[in-house]
Amino acid sequence: MGELRGELRTDEPLARHTSWRVGGPARRLYRPADVHDLVEFLRRLDPGEPLLWLGLGSNLLVPDVGFPGTVILTHGCLTGLERRGPAGVYAQAGATCARVARFAARHDLIGVEFLAGIPGTMGGALTMNAGAWGGETWTHVSRVRTIDRTGLVRERTPADFHIGYRDVRGAPGEWFLDVELELQPGDGVAAMTRMRALLDQRARTQPTGLPSCGSVFRNPPGDYAARLIESVGLKGYRIGGAQVSEKHANFIINTGPATARDIAGLVDHVRCEVERHTGVRLKPEYVSVTAVR
């Protein structure tokens, strides 16, 4: 066995690593030096150890009691980006979506401008088929590599997954390690202009700069979660330090003192009120850590 070269922290507050800025401590947090170091770390891991993978933490609600296992932090380490062939882009799981979008445009490759508005990493985008403004991540995936808790790396194609709206299901116990995207040659300058326009639109319509997870609920078929929430008068409604954004009703923001319990309580209240008044049961778009295995 080689020596581990990554960074190991104990009792690390996960509020530092989530965009909602809530969450108690992880028993251990490991930031690998590279893929080889990650493989070595996982090979040494106790098979019964609870495991959580974390990028930018933008689609995650961590409970106030924290996480009683090991967190693998990919952001800031697994960030490789490469041009592959005439229209391919290779990205590791910790590369941010916005960086991938800019990288593609600089190489005159188009189709993933929507990634500029997704505040997460490619690992998270693959996990939930992240999308915006009509684009979705898996539309452009040609292959991925996954890794399991024993450190075994596998190459897979989209055919190995069930891919839907904000939902991706594959072999259990595997996490995304990297991806190769197949894009279209095009005008990179025009792509950059489109990205700036999309980001301007996002800033006008969403509470950017405030702690949130992005969109809280999936849009139901033929409708918008924000419209339904606003229609029942919940814009601005708050529980503790958590508040339904007055700018965009499908965002719940941390006004400063919010706890995970406040946010979870507000999510439940919104779901119940929308269902009571409209008959529509909204489905959360974020992941609750208690549901992670």
pLDDT, one tens digit per residue, over 146-168 is 999 999 999 999 999 999 988 99
Instruction: Return the pLDDT at 290.
Output: 74
CA–CA dist 212, 246 (Å, integer):
13
Torsion of CA 180, 55, 113, 207, to 10 degrees: 170
- Please determine, for residue 293, whether its predicted confidence score (pLDDT) is greater than 50: no
Contact indicator for 128, 14 with CB cutoff of 8 Å: no
Instruction: Return the pLDDT at 291.
Output: 47
CA 10 to each of CA 30, 43, 69: distance values in angstroms, whole numbers, following the listed order: 9, 19, 10
Reported as a single tens digit per residue, the pLDDT across 237-251 is: 999 999 999 999 999
Alpha helices in the chain (DSSP H): 35-44, 97-106, 122-128, 188-205, 225-231, 260-278
2-6, 60-64, 196-200 — which is least confidently predicted? 2-6
- Please determine, for residue 132, whether its predicted confidence score (pLDDT) is greater than 90: no
Secondary element (H or E) of residue 141: strand 141-148
Reported as a single tens digit per residue, the pLDDT across 234-290 is: 999 999 999 999 999 999 999 999 999 999 999 999 999 999 999 999 999 999 997
Q: 3-state SS string over 7-35?
A: EEEEEEEHHHHCCCCCCCEEEEEEECCCH
Reported as a single tens digit per residue, the pLDDT across 52-64 is: 999 999 989 999 9
Give the pTM: 0.91
CA–CA dist 170, 179 (Å, integer):
15
Q: Is residue 159 classed as helix, strand or coil in its secondary structure?
A: helix
CA–CA dist 196, 203 (Å, integer):
10
Instruction: Return the pLDDT at 134.
Output: 85
CA–CA dist 224, 12 (Å, integer):
37
Instruction: Return the pLDDT at 160.
Output: 97
The size of the chain, in residues, is 293
Sequence-distant (≥ 6) Cβ neighbours of residue 152 within 8 angstroms: none
The whole-number average pLDDT for the span 101-110 is: 98
- Please determine, for residue 102, whether its predicted confidence score (pLDDT) is greater than 50: yes
The set of catalytic residues is 166, 215, 285
In this structure, which amino acid lies at residue 226? A
Which token pair is 102?
């800019």
Residue 1 — very low, low, confident or very high, per pLDDT cuts 50/70/90? low
Contact indicator for 7, 48 with CB cutoff of 8 Å: no
157: DSSP letter: -
